[in-house]
Amino acid sequence: MDEREFLAGRFEAHRDHLRAVAYRMLGSLAEADDAVQEAWLKLNRADVGDVENLGGWLTTVVGRVCLDMLRARTARREEPLEARLPDPVVGGVGGLDPEHEALVADSVGLALLVVLQSLGPAERLAFVLHDMFAVPFEEIAPIVGRSPAAARQLASRARRRVQGAAPVPDPDLMRQREVVDAFLAASRGGDIEGLVAVLHPDVVLRSDRGAVPGGWTEVRGARAVSGQAAAFNRFATAFSTRPALVNGAAGIVSLVDGRPVSVLGFTVTNGMIAAIDILADPERLRGLDLTVLDG
């Protein structure tokens, strides 16, 4: 085995971890893959003979690449990041494959990723690297160009926003599914009171239909969300639904003639639905691997 093959083998051992870091930073599966590929290119150009912790070195490299990508988004004056739903990770009800399992470990649901998108790039990096991957602030500081104390403050500010806005899902997946099934039954039956009963009073529904007028909608409150769900059901008689895991939590995929038209992720907290995130962008749906729902 030559040196390049040896280095490639060491890199592959860290690939799933690096992709998980990039997914939390970017909320995009394709961009996460791009960031990991860039880390591989940098590794090939670097002299890492004296690097004792290659995994740590690669984690900070991916963090820096993602930070640059987030800053480039801002420089291009794109639409606000919170006005685009992160890419969902979809799996069959039997579980996620090992590669996807690493992506959404530690309950990285869509609701959390939406909140992460509202953070500034440096805040997001400090929070993701420290709070999710235990990277010391002494290693984060050079990436963001600040002192360790300032990096700690970035993570602290981000933590306060996340704790106040991202509901923590119940760990019992079977209980999650029961609540989602009750929601679907009430929705199909036009049972507003039944819907309200399973919705948290402060529930938020976010829907991303892509780059069309009114493509992003956000509705808050149990009564408003229940009205939306009941109204939607009147136009959804042609839809069929398949249970799925969406970012490791109970979700569904809606189909018409076998073609996916939406992916719904639910955040169930204390036995009630605290968030519903719907991706209905045809272009992005075509990019998802939904073969996991077959069989």
Name the class of domain 173-293: alpha beta
Report the DSSP beta bridge partners of residue 95: 92
State residue 220 phi and psi, 5-degree precision. Answer: -125, 145
Residue count (the chain): 295
What is the Cβ-side half-sphere exposure of residue 98, based on CA atoms within 13 angstroms? 3
CATH architecture of residue range(s) 3-82+109-165: Up-down Bundle (1.20)
Cβ neighbours, 10 Å, residue 278: 22
State pTM to two decimals.
0.89
167-173, long-range: CB within 8 Å, 24+ apart, which pairs? 167/111, 167/200, 167/267, 167/269, 167/274, 167/275, 168/107, 168/269, 169/107, 169/109, 169/111, 169/249, 169/267, 169/268, 169/269, 170/268, 170/269, 170/270, 170/271, 171/107, 173/249, 173/250
Q: How far is it, in rounded angstroms, from Cα 64 to Cα 25?
A: 10
Contact 144, 122 (CB under 8 A): yes
Other CB atoms closer than 10 Å to residue 90's CB: what's the count? 24
Angle at which helix 29-45 crosses helix 54-75, to 10 degrees, equals 120
H or E element that contains 97: none
Distance separating alpha carbons of residues 89 and 293, to the nearest angstrom: 12
Q: For the chain of 295 residues, list the mean pLDDT of each consecutive stretch of 10.
A: 77 94 95 96 84 90 96 68 79 73 76 92 97 95 96 96 87 94 89 93 94 86 88 65 91 87 94 95 86 63
| Portions of the chain given CATH number 3.10.450.50 | 173-293
- What residue spans in the chain does CATH classification 1.20.140 cover? 3-82+109-165
For residue range 229-267, what is the model confidence (pLDDT) as tens digits? 876 665 555 678 899 999 989 999 988 887 889 999 999
Q: Determine which helix (DSSP H) or strand (DSSP E) holds 81, and give its type and residue range.
A: none
The model's pLDDT over 186-212, given as tens digits with 9 standing for 90+, comes to 988 888 899 999 999 999 999 999 877
